[in-house]
Amino acid sequence: MTNRPLTRVLVANRGEIAVRVIRGCHEEGLQAVAVYSEADADALHVRMADDAVCVGPAASASSYLVVDRILQAALDTGCDAVHPGYGFLSENAGFARRVAEAGLVWIGPPPAAIDAMGSKTEARRTLRAAHVPVVPGTVDPLHDMDEARRIAADIGFPVMLKAAAGGGGKGMRRVDDPADLEAALTAARSEARKSFADDAVYVEKLVEHARHVEIQVLADAHGTVVHLFERDCSIQRRNQKVFEETPSPVLAPEVREAMGQVACRAAAAVGYVGAGTCEFLLASNHTDFYFLEMNTRLQVEHPITEMVTGIDLVRAQLRVAAGEPLWFAQGDLTQTGHAVECRVYAEDPYAGFRPSPGPLDGYREPQGPFVRVDGGVYEGGEVPIHYDPMVAKLVVWGTDREEALSRAARALRDYKVVGIPTSIPFFLALFDDPDFRAGRYHTGFLTPAWLAAHLATPEPGDDLPLIAAAIARFERDRALAGAAPATTDASAWKRAFRWAQHHRRPA
Amino acid sequence: MNYEVKLGDRVASIDVRADGEGWLVSVDGGPVRRVTGRRQGATGWWLDAGDGLRRAVDVALRGEQAFVLDGVDPLRGEVVDPREHALELAGGGGAGRVTTQMPGAVVRVQVSAGDSVHAGQVLVVVEAMKMENEFKAPFAGVVASVEVAAGQAVESGAVLVVLDPADA
């Protein structure tokens, strides 16, 4: 691959990740072009880009997901590359091919690598051949009860029966006792047939109390593949990551090393180029691990890796896409200190995490040493109803886990989002849990019972909030009635503004 | 001026009067206290109500809806001018307004004006993000008016349906 310097990048995404990529482009001396839906016309990523193109109405299926419009936007604005961010078209091999066919550089892995990792059964076969451990079981459907009995006994109970065509929990049966296998298989088959018109069922070992630990990899187009250590993403609510940290509180150095090598092997097996993530299940003995899947894109939680390695993953993506070799080797990489990420969502933690999008009447992000906020909103703006309701990612570094957590708690208390409820109080409750504080958690940690026990709707502690609400209303009524508010001296500000206009320094 | 303030489960009747740079405030007919302070930024207030009751809080008002951020606690409720409500009740004959709690898009309207509805009957379905939220009749009655149509975007606090109780 020859070097192909980039000059102008189309950022095919929205929200915080579009902002993040635009920052990386600007730091690399590249221009960045935003795309936006009609609902995002006032979004932060549009304001930060060098140019911006509206690609359709609010619904992502009519805007951010329309390949032709995104490509046309790139061509119309003279871009020479496309960065997909995460979500939307980022793991769409067809889109990656179209980008290349249009003569543009795709800032992501080769389409063939996306395809290879996209099909679970194909990935399982490829990776087994590359000696990557996958969850014990079959990919091929079970023929009959005898085969089911033999394989289940072989991998050991409990096992999970899964519909081959499945998803969303349909056609899934947990089996703890060999005596229940036959009934469970019949039930799983019948459910699979009803849900997917296909009664093929396979069997997998159930990895209980597992942690979700993933490895960040980076590969260049010259055959170098390195890993940037792990991220522990086991704090999940309904299978969605909400908090991540690195290092994992439970990973021994030799397990980390083994997992890193496996991840590099998996990436190499599919000819991977760019930034990607191999996800693993880590068994409760914290030693056995199994490959789950590879995400062939930048991850939401990439900043914590940046904080402990000092490697800017977006800039690395841009350089790799331009054909440059990685400027460091595996042996140069270190994991320094501890980093955590809290995904601050416009969700009401006191109402079952119901989405709570809306205007941000007041908005102040935390600051201070080793605090980073990757956001896509601003005061006076809004979290629109049409998309993922993320407000921002709060990322905090400390010399060790305890320092990182106490700093993160401070930053969460400093974080002021006024007008809509957010998940900020949830993180403070999480940080107060002694098991969490000790690093003792797994993917099933946040049960509905845990959430109910730790999140009680707040009530006023004294009269001040009520007095404040009444005074705010009183002042609003007074302003509407035409009287000057008691606490603002408007004329002094006007004088100061005029003074600034007359004394502005030349640009 | 008198306001009915509700935050969380707490309800209070609060009198507010201007007093130079500050305010004179009485909560639930209690002693009048002098409150000083100032507005800070878009939603910030620094208030000192005496007796050590002073700190920074944030207040966002949208119509009668109130959102107060006190530390990390989001307190939600409303600030109502009872005089406005008195007018409404006089004109509205005790009608029940079914309102949204969040902005979204109306998916379905399942009733029309004049329909009799039972308590708990789904009136309107509003979607925000990928979640559908059913808005139900709080009591049995007759639909006085439907204020929205399918496909329409609605703000938080928007009136969806107005109901007249069955047994007035």
Q: Between these two residues, B152 and A467, which has the higher pLDDT value?
A: A467
Which residue segment(s) compose the domain that B72 sits in?
2-82
A278, containing H or E segment: strand A274-282
Does B71 share its domain with B108? Answer: no
CATH code (residue A23) = 3.40.50.20
User: Distance from B22 to chain A by nearest Cα, in Å?
Assistant: 7
Res B92: pLDDT: 43
Does B57 share its domain with B98? Answer: no
Q: How many CA atoms lie within 13 A of A442 on its CB side?
A: 13
Question: Are the beta carbons of B81 and A412 separated by less than 8 Å?
Answer: no
User: Distance from B71 to chain A by nearest Cα, in Å?
Assistant: 7
Interface test with A, best of B36, B51, B67 (most A CBs within 10 A): B67
Domain assignment present for residue A258? The answer is yes
Does B70 share its domain with B133? Answer: no
The amino acid present at A7, given as its one-letter code, is T
| pLDDT tens track for B16-59 | 999 999 999 999 999 999 999 999 999 999 999 999 999 999 99
Interface test with A, best of B38, B43, B76 (most A CBs within 10 A): B43
Distance CA A500, CA A154 (A): 79
Does B106 share its domain with B149? Answer: yes
Does B70 share its domain with B107? Answer: no
Question: Are the beta carbons of B10 and A459 separated by less than 8 Å?
Answer: yes
Does A92 share its domain with A168? Answer: no
Start-to-end C-alpha separation, chain A: 43
A3: number of Cβ within 10 Å: 9
Does A293 share its domain with A307? Answer: yes
CA dihedral over A403, A408, A413, A414, signed as positive or negative: positive
Chain A CB contacts of B1 under 8 Å are 474, 477
Does B107 share its domain with B152? Answer: yes
User: Distance from A378 to chain B by nearest Cα, in Å?
Assistant: 12
Res A138: pLDDT: 79
Chain A CB contacts of B57 under 8 Å are 464-465, 468
ipTM of the complex: 0.86
Does A310 share its domain with A343? Answer: yes
Does A228 share its domain with A358? Answer: yes
Phi-psi region of A284 (alpha: psi -120 to 50; beta: other; left: phi over 0): alpha
Last residue of a domain, one of A79, A107, A135: A107
Does A358 share its domain with A406? Answer: yes
Mean pLDDT by 10 residues, chain A (507 residues): 86 98 98 98 97 97 97 98 97 96 98 88 83 86 90 91 73 90 92 84 90 98 98 94 98 98 96 97 96 94 98 98 97 98 97 94 98 97 95 98 98 98 98 98 96 95 98 95 56 48 49
**Nearest by CB: A486 against B5, B21, B62:** B21
Of the candidates A189, A197, A152, the one whose C-alpha atom is nearest the C-alpha of residue A171 is A189
User: Distance from B88 to chain A by nearest Cα, in Å?
Assistant: 18
Does A149 share its domain with A48? Answer: no
CB A485 within 8 A of CB A476: no
Peptide bond into A247 cis (omega under 30): yes
Does B22 share its domain with B56? Answer: yes
How many residues comprise chain B?
Answer: 168
User: Distance from B109 to chain A by nearest Cα, in Å?
Assistant: 20
CATH code (residue B144) = 2.40.50.100
Which residue segment(s) compose the domain that A27 sits in?
8-107
**Nearest by CB: B49 against A387, A464, A476:** A464
Q: Which 8-state DSSP code applies to residue A38?
A: G
Domain assignment present for residue B133? The answer is yes
Q: How many domains does chain B have?
A: 2
Distance CA A439, CA A354 (A): 28
Question: Are the beta carbons of A472 and B72 separated by less than 8 Å?
Answer: no
Question: Are the beta carbons of A469 and B59 separated by less than 8 Å?
Answer: yes
SS3 content of chain B, % helix, strand, coil (to 5): 5, 60, 35
CB A345 within 8 A of CB A423: yes
Domain assignment present for residue A449? The answer is yes
Last residue of a domain, one of B82, B117, B151: B82
Q: How far is CA A251 from CA A255, A256, A338, A340, A438, in A?
A: 6, 6, 13, 16, 14
| A421 → chain B, closest CA residue | B74
User: Which residues make Cβ contacts (< 8 Å) with residue B1, sequence separation at least 6?
Assistant: A474, A477, B15, B16, B17, B81
Question: Are the beta carbons of B27 and A467 separated by less than 8 Å?
Answer: yes
What is the residue whose two structure tokens read 């979607």? Answer: B127
A202, containing H or E segment: strand A201-205
Distance CA A152, CA A161 (A): 10
CATH code (residue B28) = 3.30.700.30
Peptide bond into A158 cis (omega under 30): yes
Domain assignment present for residue B10? The answer is yes
**Nearest by CB: A385 against B55, B69, B128:** B128
What's phi and psi for A447, nearest 5 deg?
Answer: -80, 160
Chain B CB contacts of A468 under 8 Å are 45, 47, 57, 59, 68
What's phi and psi for A497, nearest 5 deg?
Answer: -65, -45
Question: Are the beta carbons of B81 and A477 separated by less than 8 Å?
Answer: yes
Last residue of a domain, one of B82, B101, B127: B82
Does B114 share its domain with B45? Answer: no
Residue A297: active-site member: yes
Domain assignment present for residue A174? The answer is yes
Domain assignment present for residue B87? The answer is no
At residue A63's C-alpha, the angle toward residues A393 and A420, to 5°, is: 40
User: Distance from B92 to chain A by nearest Cα, in Å?
Assistant: 24
Does B123 share its domain with B56? Answer: no
Question: pTM score, two decimals?
Answer: 0.83
**Nearest by CB: B55 against A356, A361, A464:** A464
Does A215 share its domain with A199? Answer: no
Of the candidates A350, A411, A468, the one whose C-alpha atom is nearest the C-alpha of residue B69 is A468
- What is the DSSP annotation of B65-134? EEEEEETTEEEEEEEE-HHHHHHHHHHHTTPEEEE-SS-EEEEEE---TT-EE-TT-EEEEEEETTEEEE
A174, containing H or E segment: strand A173-175
Last residue of a domain, one of A53, A80, A107: A107
Domain assignment present for residue A478? The answer is yes
Domain assignment present for residue A41? The answer is yes
**Nearest by CB: A473 against B9, B49, B79:** B79
Does B69 share its domain with B123? Answer: no
Domain assignment present for residue B114? The answer is yes
CB B154 within 8 A of CB B140: no
Domain assignment present for residue B88? The answer is no
Question: Are the beta carbons of B3 and A472 separated by less than 8 Å?
Answer: no
Does A33 share its domain with A95? Answer: yes
Does A92 share its domain with A239? Answer: no
Does B15 share its domain with B47? Answer: yes
CB A252 within 8 A of CB A286: yes
CATH code (residue A182) = 3.30.1490.20
Question: Are the beta carbons of A471 and B23 separated by less than 8 Å?
Answer: yes
**Residue in A14, A211, A297, A343 annotated catalytic:** A297
Does A241 share its domain with A170? Answer: no
Question: Are the beta carbons of A465 and B79 separated by less than 8 Å?
Answer: no
What is the residue whose two structure tokens read 């009749």? Answer: B137
CA dihedral over A403, A423, A61, A13, signed as positive or negative: negative
Domain assignment present for residue A426? The answer is yes
Does A224 share its domain with A368? Answer: yes
A269, containing H or E segment: helix A253-269
Give the percent of chain B with pLDDT over 90.
62
Cα torsion A325, A326, A332, A335 to 10°: value is: -170
Does B6 share its domain with B74? Answer: yes
Chain A CB contacts of B83 under 8 Å are none
Question: Are the beta carbons of B18 and A478 separated by less than 8 Å?
Answer: yes
Q: Determine the angle formed by the axes of helices A253-269 and A120-129, rounding to 10 degrees.
A: 110
Chain A CB contacts of B37 under 8 Å are 471, 487
Does A244 share its domain with A316? Answer: yes
C-alpha A329, offset from chain centre:
26
Question: Are the beta carbons of B49 and A467 separated by less than 8 Å?
Answer: yes
The amino acid present at A227, given as its one-letter code, is H
Q: How many domains does chain A have?
A: 4
CA dihedral over A183, A442, A330, A216, signed as positive or negative: positive
What's phi and psi for A261, nearest 5 deg?
Answer: -65, -40
CATH code (residue A221) = 3.30.470.20
Domain assignment present for residue A459? The answer is no
Domain assignment present for residue A132? The answer is no
Interface test with B, best of A467, A477, A478, A487 (most B CBs within 10 A): A467
